[in-house]
Chain A
Amino acid sequence: MAMYIRQENCISCYACEQECPTGAISHDEEGIFTIDPYVCVECNGFYEEAQCLAICPIEGCIVKLEVATYGCA
């Protein structure tokens, strides 16, 4: 399970990257932010809420990836 950034909505505000406890979020030179699904733990074991989702200013920019999207584990 992991969170996912819909790049078309993202305003590159750095908020999520600063709050992520696992370092799953990074950005490239163009200011495109991505979440590494293998590092993101949906904040389990750290906080009650997914921090990126809680601070992202754009509704619908960060979404939960469903398990099914990965296929086999």
Chain B
Amino acid sequence: MGCSSKGCGTSIDGLSYLPENIREKVENHPCYSQEAHHFYARMHVAVAPACNIQCNYCNRKYDCANESRPGVVSELLTPEEAVKKVLAVAMEIPQMTVVGIAGPGDPLANPDRTFRTFELIKEKAPDIKLCLSTNGLRLTDFVDRIKDLGIDHVTITINAVTPETASKIYSWIFYNHKRYKGIEAARIILEKQYEGLQACVERGILVKVNTVFAPEINGEELEELSKKVRRMGAFLHNIMPYVEGEGTVYQKLGVRPPTPQELKEVQEKCEPHMSLMRHCRQCRADAVGLLGEDRGQEFTKDKIIHLQVNYSAEYRKSIHEEIEKERAKLKKARELMALPLEEEGKKVLVAVASKGNMLVNEHFGTAHEFLIYEVSSQGIKFIHHRKVTPYCHGSIACLEGGDILEDTISKLSDCEAIIAAKIGFEPRDLLEQKGIKCVEEFAYLPIPEALTKYYEKYVLEKVKTEG
């Protein structure tokens, strides 16, 4: 790869493999860019209840399993309600820049509701980006409408290359007013999915392919699948483990989910750029907010019905400009960081408490999640998020927090240090007993800078003399 400067080691996103025009689109998208994900958020609206196929890993009593969301039955919204919700969230959380429709069924099996929602959002909030996830059966029928609406990201779930394998994944499809089963159904749906992928690529719509991985079912084919979708122009292939669902055909047949090793192996084989999706926490369909915070409860149906929203694109723009200034500053700061360093140093895991904007700006006790980074002399690598229950609810004395605190500490036991804006006395004692260093001195610094300084000071034990 043409990695020109030392900046490469500190690249937080690893997006450099993408062509320039695609990278631009992706870089500001909270679902695809780890870095953007600190600053911007997306939301889903549940307007599409019907589905036109039956996947064997899905129980339609719950939400679409293709998007791999934990089984939450969405609060179904009409297009009008959905738009109201979008506008309300857009003003309350101006960092929200992307609205997706993914279910609870298949958006394109509910074309009237889906497109009406997109049209209304486009009309009332033209600055919001739109995206859509589909099983692909009817993608070619609607691709021009998708293009006309300016939707530039589509996710298609494709699980197989051969009809034989596909026939073990879909029990039936409803197509051209008929129910098809078996190999015939499998042939049609695969043909439609790949045609849909091609049709999107031809129109310049970015395509991400999701694949549900069940080793006994499609394990043998995934590498080929990955190659095929990339060759056809998908910009990202995301492999998700099959998760056992109550009352599904797979559950009855005893199909097993992949082991973590199997998943890792297949991801490594198929996805040389898996880092791109590392930050995906399989958002719930109706989750709203930044970085692990879920403010969905503030925007439930009964609440939005009574809301009066005055949408202001200018207000949002001013906030986004501030965010961009911050991002530019941070980018500079990152480039100035000395990593990778000359000196040899060991690899360490560090947990960071942040509530957004890529800063160390969260207290240990109020954090809903920690960002885990691997730091070495080679640079900083984001590993994943770990969810915890905040043991402190803002009161001065965090009384009943004992068990929760234990739990949090055990979740962080493999980390060498915790970098937070503040860490109370009680957790500090417990953490230090477990050999986890508590670091407050980098409060409100950008995460990469805090990590670099930490590494230099505590791992390499070299104290920098200046700034």
Contacts and interface: CB of A to CB of B under 8 A. Distances in A.
B49 interface: yes
Contact of A11 (B52, B61, B110, B112): B61
A13 B178 contact: no
A54 B49 contact: no
B63 to A, nearest CB: 11
A43 B60 CA distance: 25
Contacts of B52: 15, 55
A54 B178 CA distance: 7
B409 interface: no
A54 B76 CA distance: 23
Given A11-B61, A13-B50, A14-B49, A55 B105 contact: no
B60 A57 contact: yes
A49 B178 contact: yes
A6 B48 CA distance: 22
A11 B60 contact: yes
A34 interface: no
A65 to B, nearest CB: 20
Interface in B153-184: 174, 177-179
A58 B105 CA distance: 13
Contacts of B60: 11, 13, 57-58
Interface string B95-118: 000000000010001101000000
B174 A55 contact: yes
Given A18-B112, A47-B177, A54-B178, 12 more contacts: A11-B61, A12-B49, A13-B60, A15-B51, A15-B105, A48-B177, A54-B174, A54-B179, A55-B52, A55-B174, A55-B179, A58-B60
Across the A-B interface, the 9 shortest Cβ-Cβ residue pairs: A15-B50, A57-B60, A54-B179, A55-B174, A13-B49, A47-B177, A14-B50, A14-B49, A13-B50
Interface of B: 49-52, 54, 60-61, 76, 105, 109-110, 112, 174, 177-179
Interface of A: 11-15, 18-19, 31, 47-49, 51, 54-55, 57-58
20 contacts: A11-B60, A12-B76, A13-B51, A13-B60, A13-B105, A14-B49, A14-B110, A15-B49, A15-B50, A15-B51, A15-B52, A18-B50, A18-B112, A19-B174, A48-B177, A49-B177, A51-B177, A54-B177, A57-B54, A57-B60
